Amino acid sequence: MNDFDKVSRFSSYLKFVQVQPFEMCLMAVKKDGFAIKHIRWDEVNFSDQERYKLYLEAVKENGLILGAVDFNNLTRAQRYEICLEAVKQNGFSIFSIEWEEFYFTVEEKRTICLETVKQNKEIISYFNWDKININNEDKKII
């Protein structure tokens, strides 16, 4: 059984693979978002677009991996998309969003919060509204 077959069966095997091609990493994170932690980022030579694709697929599979995403070299739009997909998958990932660093628009913040509440209504009671920086009217909408 070759490395690709092993990773296709056990995504955590990615950490033992000597050479980690993009396709193998993508397959692993689609199966288990936490496999993103097994990528040796300092050894792979992925483009910014490939990194974005890996992060996006990882949070689609498990939103809680959002805290492990390296947002450097990603556009604001890519950051937004990754955060939005993360909260759609698991509302608790909202607590990993660095609101003050991402410069989301009010509409983007509102959408992320609405998607979070759709995923889990109880999360709203844990929101740190000051950190999110949403006005009272938007809070009522959410």
Phi-psi region of 18 (alpha: psi -120 to 50; beta: other; left: phi over 0): alpha
Instruction: Work out the angle at residue 70's Cα, subtended by the Cα atoms of residues 66 and 75, and round it to the nearest 5 degrees.
Output: 100
Is 88 contained in some domain? Answer: yes
Phi-psi region of 123 (alpha: psi -120 to 50; beta: other; left: phi over 0): alpha
Is 35 contained in some domain? Answer: no
- In the prediction, which pLDDT does 140 show? 63
- Rounded to whole angstroms, how far apart are CA atoms 99 and 22? 29
Residue range 84-136, pLDDT digits in tens:
999 999 999 999 999 888 989 988 988 998 899 888 888 877 776 666 666 66
Residue 71 confidence (pLDDT) above 70: yes
Is 54 contained in some domain? Answer: no
Tally of domains in the chain: 1
- Rounded to whole angstroms, how far apart are CA atoms 111 and 128? 16
Q: Which domain holds residue 115?
A: 70-142
Is 98 contained in some domain? Answer: yes
Q: What is the pTM of this model?
A: 0.88
The most confident of 8-12, 60-64, 125-129, by mean pLDDT:
60-64
Is 49 contained in some domain? Answer: no
Is 44 contained in some domain? Answer: no
Is 100 contained in some domain? Answer: yes
- Please enumerate in sequence order all residues whose Cβ is within 8 A of that of 72, keeping only pairs 6 or more positions apart, or say none: none
Is 110 contained in some domain? Answer: yes
- Rounded to whole angstroms, how far apart are CA atoms 49 and 42? 16
